[in-house]
Amino acid sequence: MANTEDFFESTTPRHAWVMVFVVFILSGLAFGSLASISVFLKPISSDFGWSRGETSLAYTVASFSSALFGVFWGYLADKHGTRWFGLVGAFAMSLCLYFLSIQTSILQFYFLYFLFGAFGCALLFSPLYANVGFWFRQNPGLALGIAASGGAIGQAFIPHLSGYLIEAAGWKSAYLNLAVIYIVIALPISLLIKESPWRESARTEEDPEVRDFPISEKEVVAWISLAVIFCCICMSVPIVHLVPLLTDANFSLEFATSVLMVLMFCGAFGRILGGMLGDVIGALPAYILMSLGQTISVIWFPNVSTPIGIYLLAAFFGFTYSGVMSSILVCTRVMVSAKFAARAMSLTSFFGWTGMGLGGFFGGYFFDLQGNYVWSFAFAGIMGFINVLILIQFWFRTRNKKKKSEPSFS
């Protein structure tokens, strides 16, 4: 029996695992900053007199700009590769964080998060995940799960760090310190980005790659995109509003950020296991299973009041919502060709970011209407249920199409 090292050496170029590490770090920084909006929400709202809905709209703005520009970056990635994407993304994130420390109006606040999404998150998400996925011919789910877990680690650590920096010296100093940290870490890491040999060859070959999936690439993207809108509305409500929910219930900011950290650390394992589950039972069944867990758990957040109950619920939600994230990536990886991968991931991400933005906004909107988060999280649960229904219909569609394409021997 061949050992593990021989297995990976025989099937995967050495630089493949370097790329997993690079995307792990860069996605952690990008997603971590977006998740930190929940920590900055109350102090910035208090200083400027903005409502929760107005302030949390920055998350929506960043999500929409990531969605819009992600499609453009995906097209460029499929045509020209992703070698320079990390450098631009690193500079963009750092500059936006610096200027956030000195902004003085809500329009400036929105504009800077627009730029953060367009030139930070959009560059570092779908194009780089598409690159990583096609470094691996075997077990792409495991590789994508590990790379995607960086986003969960970032969402766990950076909001907690932001909370510490805010309590130590205020939100302005926190943004400034994050800007310095980001440029020091992200810039050298970005220099290690290389394009997948598989995708390099796919760009130069005239003959289309043979796919082993029963429905067309366009239909795959349409089904996943439709489901992802509702899926991401569901997941974004806790990501943006969990910290304010807990501090409104008279828990300390330190406790609230520690709950978010537990959620995201469990999410790191969820992304790895979600990717592995996709390799074992199939990407779409894994997506359905994780979506079901996310939907069941999200509605309980306003109804759990004990610290241990909150930690347990956050851990379960973090595991399942993050499993959803990696399952979406694996679905796209195994259902489309290498030549179309970045565009496919960017198109599905367009609808994902749209859903994230809508969820963040409506979470704040329902709070402003009701004065509490009960309807916000109920709304998230309804959206999650619609996502599950769409995925089940997609599963039946692929199964029936596959049966029709199989030869009959009657």
CA 61 to CA 392: how far, in whole Å? 31
Task: Please report the sign of the dihedral spanned by the C-alpha atoms of residue 145, residue 194, residue 90, residue 233.
Answer: negative
Both structure tokens of 390: 């769409």
Contacts of 56 (CB under 8 A, 6+ apart): 37, 41, 240, 241, 360, 361, 363, 364
Stretch 137-158: mean pLDDT, rounded?
83
Both structure tokens of 66: 């990531």
Residues 224-237 as b/e (b if ≥16 CB within 10 A, e otherwise) read bbbbbbbbbbbbbb
Domain count, the chain: 1
Name which of 20-29, 35-44, 106-115, 294-303 the model is least confident about.
35-44
In the chain, % of residues over pLDDT 90? 30
Stretch 121-143: mean pLDDT, rounded?
82
Measured CA to CA in angstroms, residue 330 lies from 42, 199, 283, 319 at distances of 36, 16, 6, 17
For residue 207, being part of any structural domain is answered with: no
For residue 76, being part of any structural domain is answered with: yes
Q: For residue 55, how far is the Cα from the chain centroid? A: 21
For residue 408, being part of any structural domain is answered with: no
For residue 206, being part of any structural domain is answered with: no
Region of residue 403 (phi > 0: left; psi between -120 and 50: alpha; otherwise: beta): alpha
pLDDT in the model for residue 252? 87
Stretch 304-326: mean pLDDT, rounded?
91
pLDDT in the model for residue 335? 85
For residue 8, being part of any structural domain is answered with: no
pLDDT in the model for residue 99? 95
For residue 147, being part of any structural domain is answered with: yes
Scanning 49-193, the segments in alpha helix (DSSP H) are: 52-80, 85-100, 106-116, 122-124, 126-133, 140-169, 171-190
Scanning 205-252, the segments in alpha helix (DSSP H) are: 217-248
Residue 56 belongs to domain spanning: 14-200+212-399
The amino acid present at 341, given as its one-letter code, is A
pLDDT in the model for residue 101? 93
* Closest to 227 measured CA to CA, from 398, 363, 356, 388: 388
Cβ(249)–Cβ(305) below 8 Å = yes
Q: Is the pLDDT of residue 365 over 90?
A: no
Both structure tokens of 9: 């050496």
For residue 357, being part of any structural domain is answered with: yes
For residue 5, being part of any structural domain is answered with: no
What CATH number is associated with residue 329? 1.20.1250.20
Both structure tokens of 222: 């349409």
Instruction: List, for residues 245-256, the tens digit of each pLDDT value.
Output: 998 888 888 888
Tracing tokens 């259902």 back to the chain, one arrives at 335
pLDDT in the model for residue 5? 42
pLDDT in the model for residue 402? 77
pLDDT in the model for residue 334? 81
Instruction: List, for residues 184-201, the tens digit of each pLDDT value.
Output: 999 899 988 888 777 777
